[in-house]
Amino acid sequence: MAKNEKKMVDAITSMDEDFAQWYTDIVKKAELIAYTSVKGCMVIRPYGYAIWENIQRILDGMFKETGHVNVNMPMFIPESLLQKEKDHVEGFAPEVAWVTMGGENKLEERLCVRPTSETLFCDHYKDIVHSYRDLPKLYNQWVSVVRWEKTTRPFLRSREFLWQEGHTIHATAQEAIDETERMLNVYAQFCEDALAIPVVKGRKTESDKFAGAVATYAIEALMHDGKALQAGTSHYFGDGFAKAFDIQFADKDNTLKYPHQTSWGMTTRLIGAIIMTHGDNNGLVLPPAVAPIQVVIVPAAMHKEGVLDKAHEIADALTAAGLRVKLDDSENSPGWKFAEYEMKGVPVRVEIGPRDIAANQCVIVTRHNGEKTAVSLDDLAASVQAKLQEVHDGMYAAALENRKNRTFSCTTIDEIRQTLEEKGDGFIEAMWCGDEACEDEVKAQTGAGSRCIPFEQKQLSDKCVCCGKPAKCMVLWGKAY
């Protein structure tokens, strides 16, 4: 191992030693973020933002394919507007940032910086929804929102974060419920197909619903350390917001009705999910679909005749095939380069040197498992594309395997506690009576809260894991980020 290489790798704390420090090391050393003078806020650096741009591009395409269009709402919400829906304001008011001055002047009414935009969309719907012909409206926006969190962590919890928020309004409850489920499925498909992260789809318990929602659905992922992370949520609002904002439409039968609404969101937190699902002690491991660089080409004996020419030829061919490629022809040593792009999680490395060229081949190294394969230079783009698919599948399989190994069924609180102690954190499947007191008790005694009521139910027993009374459903429990 070259000296530089050693130094670089040493700079990351081992994930087994201190997972939280390992995470912080990665976000800094892979140059995803930088801290700022603005407490609880971060700079998303070019490499981190390029991951977000890829996430945006793919998700936005999926939204448009399902009939949604983008809009842009103001970032400010007047206090009186925020207060129109009772549950909603109770949920959000304690954690918003308030603008009270414009220039030198005190505002007549203070404005909060949007923590989410239901109230703004409702204010707009009231203007534009009058007839069944105006429905549905299938809207989305890509913006940042602010929640005045006390403790923050890059990507996972920050005072400002980037997200998309979908907002839709429909003539009937059924259409709105269908939309809520459709978008949850879009989210799950995105996590699996683009991020190689398996997720559990389910419904949140009453106590864990979004402020103002009738029902909240979520996808839950299990991180490498056995903690759960909510990767996306989709909310069904019924006609509660419509009533609070007095939005009515003339239906086909000429009667006035209240429309039904949904909202759904995913955030830059997904980048945290990628890090903690796939990362290892050498750094980041990026799923090919969202990696800013999919293939890095590292020439060996770079100054020998023909090597750089061949490396450029390969780079051009792979780029022409639609891949995101970087050829590193800097004067740094190959060892330094290996460590650098491992840290940055580039899925595939192509090594090419004089002996490879003589044999009309190159060596492909896959980041997630370190495997090396000699591959013919003939039709290399096709080989690399196949390899990237292999990488995606391998990463997904490993994440699924980790989740399987860390998912346990329990029938008593003692068993939950014992399992978490002996086997470490993970998902716990256990039955529940539906009583909030039991939900709280499980969390108090084990540290594992209810993550969701999975759509795919199992009948583990007929008794609540807490009180022993008849169980209504199986809940997925876990310690959460």
* Binding region for a copy of itself (CB under 8 A): 34-38, 41-46, 49-50, 52-53, 69-78, 81, 93-104, 110-111, 113, 120, 123-124, 127-128, 139, 143-144, 146, 148, 160, 162
Complex with a copy of itself: residue 76 or 408, whichever CB lies closer: 76
- Position 400, amino acid: L
79/57 Cα distance (integer angstroms): 34
- Position 165, amino acid: E
The DSSP code for 280 is: B
Complex with a copy of itself: residue 69 or 359, whichever CB lies closer: 69
Compute the radius of gyration of the chain from its Cα atoms. Answer: 25
The DSSP code for 432 is: E
Complex with a copy of itself: residue 151 or 360, whichever CB lies closer: 151
User: Closest separation between CB of residue 161 and a copy of itself, Å?
Assistant: 10
4/253 Cα distance (integer angstroms): 75
User: Closest separation between CB of residue 48 and a copy of itself, Å?
Assistant: 8
User: Closest separation between CB of residue 67 and a copy of itself, Å?
Assistant: 11
468/445 Cα distance (integer angstroms): 16
User: Closest separation between CB of residue 103 and a copy of itself, Å?
Assistant: 5
Complex with a copy of itself: residue 142 or 408, whichever CB lies closer: 142
Complex with a copy of itself: residue 43 or 300, whichever CB lies closer: 43
Q: Can the peptide bond before residue 136 be classed as cis, meaning omega within 30 degrees of 0?
A: yes
Please give the helix or strand (H or E) that residue 348 lies within, else none: strand 348-352
Q: How far is C-alpha 193 from the chain's CA centre? A: 13
User: Closest separation between CB of residue 168 and a copy of itself, Å?
Assistant: 13
User: Closest separation between CB of residue 387 and a copy of itself, Å?
Assistant: 26
139's CB contacts (< 8 A; 6+ apart) are 68, 69, 70, 71, 121, 166, 167, 168
405/226 Cα distance (integer angstroms): 10
62/78 Cα distance (integer angstroms): 32
Complex with a copy of itself: residue 153 or 417, whichever CB lies closer: 153
Torsion angle, CA of 278/284/290/291, rounded to 10 degrees? Answer: -140
Complex with a copy of itself: residue 128 or 374, whichever CB lies closer: 128
Cα distances (angstroms) measured from residue 146 to each of 50, 93, 114, 407 = 22, 12, 6, 34
User: Closest separation between CB of residue 124 and a copy of itself, Å?
Assistant: 5
Closest alpha carbon to 219 in 230, 208, 206: 230
Complex with a copy of itself: residue 120 or 295, whichever CB lies closer: 120
User: Closest separation between CB of residue 141 and a copy of itself, Å?
Assistant: 8
Complex with a copy of itself: residue 206 or 316, whichever CB lies closer: 316
Cα distances (angstroms) measured from residue 398 to each of 116, 198, 297 = 35, 10, 26
What the block records as the tokens of 21 is: 């420090």
User: Closest separation between CB of residue 139 and a copy of itself, Å?
Assistant: 7
